[in-house]
């Protein structure tokens, strides 16, 4: 029977557990967090992109419900952690730098930001962004430079851009 899962060829025919083990053994130190104040359809896109960039841990703060359809089953190959609130989340990542991605006051441009190898990139919900409580605990807030008339870009797109920049800094030129 043909394996129709959306996995690279080397994983075709392997059990999910075997794929997870292999990914865990070679995965990156980058982790992703999502401040889930709303049931945002973009979360699936963020999770799918995280899988593509070798992320092994996704942290979801707030609501446990999210639209998994956009993840295209890629969440099955990641470790997804849920937290009731910011304090519980912050306690779990105490040894990693928290880098918030938002275009709020105090942010630095992505083009000049150094993204540490061992960090958690935090994304907010489309619209409200990152909660002030989490933003205040970030070691750095990074904004993507934009050149058009719109104030912001879609959070799913922003996540992909920043994850790739982390890969560029830490894996491709590290």
- CB-based contact 134:100 (threshold 8 Å): yes
Q: What strands, in cross-sheet order, belong to the sheet with 57-62?
A: 79-83, 57-62, 31-36, 119-124, 97-101, 140-143, 108-109
**What gap in Å lies between CA 77 and CA 5, rounded to an integer?**
12
| The pLDDT of residue 67 | 67
Spatial CB neighbours of 36, under 8 Å, sequence gap ≥ 6: 43, 60, 61, 62, 63, 64, 66, 125
Q: What mean pLDDT comes out for the span 137-162?
A: 93
Answer whether residue 37 shows pLDDT above 70. Answer: no
User: Could you report the per-residue pLDDT of 101-142, keeping only the tens digit for each?
Assistant: 999 999 999 999 999 999 999 998 777 889 999 999 999 999
Calpha distance 111→121 (Å, rounded): 16
- Give a yes or no: residue 2 inside a domain: no
Buried b (16+ CB within 10 A) or exposed e, 136-149: ebbebbbbbeeeee
Which pair of structure tokens corresponds to residue 1? 């029977």
**Count, residues in the chain:** 174
Is it the case that residue 38 has pLDDT exceeding 80?
Answer: no
- Assigned token pair, 93: 């990542």
* Residue 75 located in a structural domain: yes
* pTM reported for the whole predicted model: 0.92
* 52-111 tens-digit pLDDT: 999 999 999 987 666 666 667 788 989 999 999 999 999 999 889 999 999 999 999 999
Q: What is the mean pLDDT of residues 155-173?
A: 94
| Residue 3 covered by a domain | no
Judge whether 165 lies within some domain. Answer: yes
Digit-coded pLDDT (tens) for 5-28: 889 999 999 999 999 999 999 989
Residue 165, classed as helix, strand or coil, is helix
Average pLDDT (41-57) is 91
Q: What is the pLDDT of residue 5?
A: 87
Residue range of the domain that includes 121 = 9-172
Query: Reduced to 3 states, what is the DSSP secondary structure of residue 173?
Result: coil
Query: Considering the domain boundaries, does residue 120 fall inside one?
Result: yes
Distance CA 91, CA 33 (A): 13
Residue 79: which CATH number?
A: 3.40.1280.10
The H-assigned helical ranges of the chain are 16-26, 42-52, 86-92, 132-135, 155-167
- What confidence score (pLDDT) does residue 65 get? 66
Task: Work out the average pLDDT over 33-62.
Answer: 87
Query: What's the total number of domains in the chain?
Result: 1
């Amino acid at each position: 029977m043909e394996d129709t899962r959306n996995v690279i060829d080397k994983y075709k025919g392997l059990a999910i557990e075997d794929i997870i083990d292999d990914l865990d053994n070679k995965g990156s130190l980058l982790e992703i967090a999502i401040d889930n104040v709303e049931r945002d359809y973009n979360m699936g896109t963020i999770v799918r992109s995280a899988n593509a960039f070798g992320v092994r841990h996704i942290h979801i703060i707030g609501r446990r419900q999210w639209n998994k359809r956009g993840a295209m089953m890629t969440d099955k190959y990641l470790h997804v952690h849920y937290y009731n609130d910011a304090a519980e989340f912050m306690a779990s990542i105490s040894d990693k730098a928290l880098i918030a991605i938002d275009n709020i006051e105090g942010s630095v441009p992505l083009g000049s930001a150094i993204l540490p190898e061992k960090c958690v990139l935090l994304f907010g919900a489309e619209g409200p962004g990152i909660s002030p409580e989490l933003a205040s605990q970030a070691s750095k807030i990074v904004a993507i430079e934009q050149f058009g008339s719109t104030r912001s870009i879609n959070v799913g797109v922003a996540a992909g851009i920043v994850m790739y920049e982390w890969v560029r800094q830490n894996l491709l030129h590290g």
